[in-house]
Amino acid sequence: MSEKTIIDATGAIFGRLCSFAAKKALEGDDVIIINSERTVITGNKKNIIEEYGEIRKKGGHSLKGPKYSRVPYKMLKRGIRGMLPDFRRGIGKQAFKGVKCYNGIPKELENEKIIKMPILKKVKYIGLEELSGLI
């Protein structure tokens, strides 16, 4: 039986959160991430916005891919997908099925035990919600 791991992404660093969630998913846990819009990406705001803007422009033809979403929880889920071995088949596909991300806290998860990720120290950063509005 798989264990349910609920993670609060408030103030968590994007890459560290994605790698932690990917490891838990590969161990067989169901990973649920709440408040995904409050995740932060460290670095210079201007550079981050430029990089994500370029990635979205490379999105390809409207019918073909790859498609990069602007929605914060989908951006986070894509980051987790990138840290799984092969999300299309085998163990990576099985692990990715157990990953769920939410903006805010769903009502059914309010009374559950939640893991808090380490909060960001004083560095330059941009939040996923702000980034999704700018790209």
pLDDT higher than threshold 60 for residue 74: yes
119 versus 91: the higher-pLDDT residue is 91
Token look-up 């994500």 returns: 52
Residues 10-32 pLDDT 10s: 989 999 999 999 999 999 999 99
The verdict on domain 4-134 having CATH code 3.20.20.80 is no
The partner residues of 31 in beta bridges, in order of sequence, read 5, 99
Q: In sequence order, what DSSP letters do the residues of 42-109 get, joined into one string?
A: ES-HHHHHHHHHHHHHTT-SSSSS-----SHHHHHHHHHHHTSS-TTSHHHHHHHHTEEE-SS--GGG
- Residue 92 amino acid letter: G
Q: CB–CB of 11/121 below 8 Å?
A: no
Report the pLDDT averaged over residues 31-40: 93
pLDDT at 1 > cutoff 60: no
Which pLDDT value is given to residue 60? 66
**Domain locations along the chain:** 4-134
Question: Tokens in use for 119?
Answer: 């909060």
Task: State the chain's mean pLDDT as an integer.
Answer: 88
